[in-house]
């Protein structure tokens, strides 16, 4: 039974997250339905990182097992044909060994959070950015972000419904940069870790926003982390600004 690794891109706006639900549209359900229509099999997908409602992906990875060996370009193109007109695209498909697991073989996951920082709201990207109309200092946000790097208890940045057994995570990257192009003013938060807690990236983005408008200092952010004081954390940044941008794997293919 061959195993296929899929690289997937999707707009999360019309979906209630990745994970299949009984009555609501999800990315997993859309792809699994396409698999059944294409192959006649009821395959189950496992992904690298389950995204919440409204969260996007440009390089999500999933695997599935099929009874029949298909050409990889046939798998990609047939799935895309059956996914239309939904905003989900299979970028590639490849055969991998049975020891490859999209979730458990991952050694690092990457996310990007986008803040549109100008007075006027977005016309074309409103479903992909958090519009913050007041001025933000990206340098202050970057200074605060560096206080979160490393291995810590991230209870202050964890959703109440998070099912992770431990709140301890190792944050490998958290960088804040400002991008300018004409009247386009965007602040981008890039972060990487082996794994994240539920809502961790959005909670960090909301807290860094407060640092950017000088309501929190870098020391305040470090104290929130150290005291695990969730009530002092910034607002939960909206899902629309978050994108899953990639996942790294070791030598196991």
Helix (H, G, I), strand (E, B) or coil at 185: strand
Q: Find out whether 111 is annotated in a ligand binding site.
A: yes
Structure tokens of 229?
A: 């004081």
Helix (H, G, I), strand (E, B) or coil at 247: strand
Contact 61, 102 (CB under 8 A): yes
Max CA separation in the chain (angstroms) = 58
Enumerate helices (H) and strands (E) in the chain, giving the number of each: 5, 10
Active site residue 52: yes
Contact 9, 80 (CB under 8 A): no
Structure tokens of 6?
A: 């899929």
Residue among 11, 23, 52, 65 flagged as catalytic:
52
- The partner residues of 109 in beta bridges, in order of sequence, read 193, 247
Helix (H, G, I), strand (E, B) or coil at 127: coil
Q: Known binding site for substrate: residues? A: 111
Q: Known binding site: residues? A: 111
Catalytic residue positions, numbered: 52
């Amino acid at each position: 039974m061959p195993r296929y690794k899929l690289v997937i891109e999707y707009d999360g706006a019309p979906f209630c997250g990745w994970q299949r639900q009984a009555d609501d549209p999800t990315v997993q359900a859309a792809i699994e339905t396409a698999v059944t229509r294409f192959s006649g099999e009821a395959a189950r997908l496992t992904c690298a990182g389950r995204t919440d409602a409204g969260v996007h992906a440009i390089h999500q990875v999933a695997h599935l097992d099929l009874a029949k060996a298909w050409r990889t370009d046939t798998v990609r193109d047939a799935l895309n044909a059956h996914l239309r007109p939904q905003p989900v695209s299979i970028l590639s498909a490849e055969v991998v060994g049975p020891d490859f697991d999209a979730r458990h073989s991952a050694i690092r996951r990457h996310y990007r959070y986008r803040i549109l920082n100008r007075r006027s709201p977005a016309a074309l990207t409103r479903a992909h950015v958090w519009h913050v109309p007041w001025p933000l200092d990206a340098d202050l946000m970057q200074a605060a972000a560096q206080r979160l790097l490393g291995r810590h208890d991230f209870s202050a940045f964890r959703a109440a419904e998070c099912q992770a057994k431990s709140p301890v995570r190792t944050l490998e990257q958290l960088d804040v940069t400002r991008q300018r192009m004409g009247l386009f003013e965007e602040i981008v938060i890039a972060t990487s870790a082996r794994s994240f807690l539920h809502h961790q990236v959005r909670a960090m983005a909301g807290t860094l926003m407060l640092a950017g408008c000088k309501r929190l200092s870098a020391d305040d952010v470090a104290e929130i982390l150290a005291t695990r004081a969730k009530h002092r954390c910034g607002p939960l940044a909206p899902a629309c600004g978050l994108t899953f941008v990639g996942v790294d794997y070791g030598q196991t293919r």
